[in-house]
Chain A
Amino acid sequence: MSTHTDVDFDVKDPSLTRFDLVKEGARRDGVEIVHYAPRFPVPGTRAEKRVERTIAFMLVLSGLLGLGFVVAYIWWPWKYEPGNGLDKLYNPVLGITLGGSLFLLGIAIVTWAKKLLPEEVSIQERHDVADQAERALTGATILNMVDETGIKRRPLLKGALLVGAAPLGVAAAAPLVGGLIKKPDHILFETAWKPADGHKVKLTREDGSAVRPEDVSVGGQMTVYPGVPHGASNEHADSPVLLIHLREKDASELRANLKNVAVNAEDGGAIWGNFVAYSKICTHAGCPASLYEQQTNRLLCPCHQSQFHITDNARPVFGPATRRLPMLPLSVEDGVFVAKSDFRVPIGPGFWERP
């Protein structure tokens, strides 16, 4: 920083101490050391020795712990085995040795800096006033750059540049957009329950076995999956269904309520006997709504606590969900449950195109 250079200062002057040079260096950097005193003005006092010993102790202990870490890392039985073997202590031992070692090293250095380094107060000037002359010169230089290109005087080039560069910009974005963009299509409106080639899809357990009405006792429920290949896997994350066997009283309540809901009442009824099946995918944000409260006939979603009143056709009665859980139209063929058709409304969370 030229502003601080002092021609009168001779760094070679033999009468100068090293600290004189330090202060001159600092001065040239805009720093004034205004207070600088040793922590222990009388060297070698008991207090000073004690601080030294404490620091040395921490450093050695840190080293020992570090060594302990390496030893434990290599020789401690680490392979996971069932039961309560020594391997369960592997992680804590690593943590204590490594953490302790680093921690002590840190504390040792902090103590060193706080207790042994000279007490210091330095003042540095701020130079944060922009130099107006420099600003004017740079401004002129920039404007001159623009003038040199002559873009203002040459409208033809201006237009040609635009025409030339714009497609290139689009070209740069094209691979990203083109590769990534995917049309939502039908996927939000269809699930694996859609009958394929006229075959209705069976309700199956996780292992793929079909479900019969006698498999679910009165008041019970069961999570079922579409009987298609990988039907229970995440490949068909939109298809899990809760099959509920209602008690007689609840079933008639539901039947009464369904009369008002055209979409589920048509087609001879979408429930079968006292059985009803609802999509398990919460209409709020897609968690599985799976906590069934028998007494109140409410299905609770654990994610944001939306509650669906099953005997009122899964109407959302509390929480942020706004739509009913879609009902899967049920039937029984050859003694096993099948879905008469796909859900009649899109399952899961809402979206813009959802009618």
Chain B
Amino acid sequence: MKRRKFDVAALPAKAGGEIDDRLQVSAPLRRLFNKVFPDHWSFLLGEIALYSFIVLLLTGTFLTLWFDPSMEEVHYNGPYTPLNGIEMSRAYESSLQLSFEVRGGLIMRQMHHWAALLFMASIVVHMLRVFFTGAFRKPRELNWVIGVLLFWLGFVEGFAGYSLPDDALSGTGLRIAHAIMLSIPVVGTWVATSLFGGEFPGTVILGRLYIAHVLLVPAILLGLIAAHMGLLVKQKHTQWPGPGRSNDNVVGVRMFPGFAAKGGAFFMVVFGVIALLGGLFQINPVWLFGPYKAAVVSAASQPDWYVMFLDGSTRLMPPWEARFPLWPGHHYTLPPLFWPTVFLPGVLTMLPLFYPFIEARKFKSKQSHHLLQRPRDVPTRTSLGAMALAFYFVLMISGANDVLAEKFHISLNAMTWAGRIGLLLLPPLAYWVTYRICLGLQQHDREVLAHGMETGIIKRLPNGAFVEVHQPLSPVDAHGHPTELPYAGWVVPKKMNRIGALVPTVKGFFFPVEEAAQRTLPAEAPVSPAPSREGIGSGKH
């Protein structure tokens, strides 16, 4: 037998064959390649969260190589001269060293912090998208529950990270966290003393927060994110209603190459934006804050944005302390801190966790839903969401009420009272206004479907009256009246150029970069018959 020449071009196919001989992966692999994903900009929000999490893992791992969570007292002696000779913890010193003495350490710290802010922001906006479009309905309740847990874990993870550098802001936040633990009835002092290993701050808390921050919580986050993705693949993505789309299919592009290319590219974009932020915009300059000292705090010390709503709720809470004379001579105390920082977060966890099930009960809905709903079509839910948002924003703004009071020369006490009253009044108002808006939008959709869209053309009738000519969307009946179209749960065109009555705009800046489209060609419907195979799949076997 003659020895065959080594053929490089055939190598991938041959290697693939060898792998398939052993693992039989052809079919599952192809099923993955062929998986169809629907496309809509709002589906990218969750991706931002995923990508910033990856950036957090990468930058965070870099930081661990230098960061030292020790609370041992040292005297600084380094290139940042203003702090020379100052007593500080080793953790704070190592954060300074990361910022000034590690090549690229500062950009890594700043990228890590920016990525954390982006991670939480994208989680929140992604949750809003899922909520307002009803994507959490059966069969996706479990993924909604995982999402809520991801938010709170991200919150805890971020707080732990914020506490690590042991600067003045970290320590202040940690001391408040200690007070929050103390406020829990019956077990509070035990919880706080156990976690801090004695008094505040003690010497163990940073080490414990550190292992939570770099191992325990990331591991749980990773597991939950994996489950989140797994469920997404198993249950397939929801889609907006539209031509050819139904509750029993997914219309979009196959995972490879189109969807995967866009996903990978979007990761690069998110990563790039975080790198730009980390390089250009200073964040958490711990050297300016100084080391944590129990007796020192500066005004306007602000937590990261995702903690601010709890800061706000704490500020608005009236001084209501409950005391329980359980037996003669013994009083027990329930401090007011308990309500805004333990009770409220408890409610804010439980309500969203159970919301999908409560709503399904209320709407008596038992079947699976794969088509998204436009917010206007479910006014009750949309208005509840608006109410929650109003509540959240009042709290968040109150978290910065001292800064606002100073900037706008308002008395701080007035800001606090405005927040207290706003917290009670604005949410119901938001509910009512949103409900009205939803109904109005619905009505306008139905009008256009029944009578056609406004053309802007005014006609004068023989009797002298002026009417606007409407372009019906449907065929007209014998009397020239349009037949009413049913509402399909999707955007109703309301402007003439949305139905091709105007020439599409030509792209370009000063000069056209493309020829104007030929108007004679009929535009192809989004779903058209399969094309002939000439010109595309020409590679014959």
Nearest opposing residue in chain A for B235, CB measure: A128
B94 within 8 A of A: no
B402 within 8 A of A: yes
Chain A neighbourhood of B530, CB < 8 A: 23, 33-36
Q: In the complex, what distance in Å separates the CA atom of A102 from the CA atom of B529?
A: 39
Stretch at the interface among B265-273, B461-469, B483-491: B265-273
Least CB distance, A224 to chain B, in whole angstroms: 9
CB distance B295 to A288 under 8 Å? yes
Least CB distance, B58 to chain A, in whole angstroms: 12
Given contacts A26-B34, A103-B269, A184-B193, contact A349 B261 (CB under 8 A): no
CB distance A112 to B251 under 8 Å? no
CB distance A237 to B235 under 8 Å? no
CB distance A81 to B79 under 8 Å? yes
Stretch at the interface among A86-94, A152-160, A329-337: A86-94
B199 within 8 A of A: yes
A-B CB contacts (within 8 Å), total count: 352
Q: Which of B267, B335, B370 has the most A CB atoms < 10 Å from its CB?
A: B335
Nearest opposing residue in chain A for B537, CB measure: A19
Chain B neighbourhood of A319, CB < 8 A: 315, 319, 416
CB distance B264 to A109 under 8 Å? yes
- Report B484-540 residues with CB < 8 Å from chain A CB: 513-515, 524, 526-531, 533, 535-540
CB distance A95 to B279 under 8 Å? yes
Stretch at the interface among B60-68, B179-187, B451-459: B179-187
CB distance B337 to A95 under 8 Å? no
Chain B neighbourhood of A123, CB < 8 A: 36, 244, 249-251, 527
B258 within 8 A of A: yes
CB distance B273 to A322 under 8 Å? no
Chain A neighbourhood of B297, CB < 8 A: 287-288, 290, 302-303
Q: Which of A1, A29, A50, A112 has the most B CB atoms < 10 Å from its CB?
A: A29
Given contacts A95-B278, A110-B262, A285-B175, contact A124 B236 (CB under 8 A): yes
CB distance B268 to A103 under 8 Å? yes
A31 CB contact (under 8 Å) in B34, B172, B186, B272: B34
Q: In the complex, what distance in Å separates the CA atom of A191 from the CA atom of B244?
A: 73
Stretch at the interface among B117-125, B157-165, B298-306, B349-357: B298-306
B413 within 8 A of A: yes
B223 within 8 A of A: no
B188 CB contact (under 8 Å) in A78, A182, A238, A351: A351
- Report A310-355 residues with CB < 8 Å from chain B CB: 316, 318-323, 348-355
Chain A neighbourhood of B416, CB < 8 A: 305, 318-319
CB distance A124 to B189 under 8 Å? no
Given contacts A128-B139, A240-B294, A350-B337, contact A285 B314 (CB under 8 A): yes
Chain A neighbourhood of B176, CB < 8 A: 285-287, 303
Leading 5 A-B pairs by shortest Cβ distance:
A95-B279, A19-B537, A106-B268, A350-B335, A103-B272
Chain A residues close to B by CB (< 8 Å): 1, 14, 16-23, 25-26, 28-29, 31, 33-38, 41, 47, 50, 73, 78-82, 90-96, 98-110, 112-114, 117-118, 120-126, 128, 180-185, 187-188, 223, 225, 232-234, 236-238, 240, 280-281, 284-288, 290-291, 302-306, 316, 318-323, 348-355
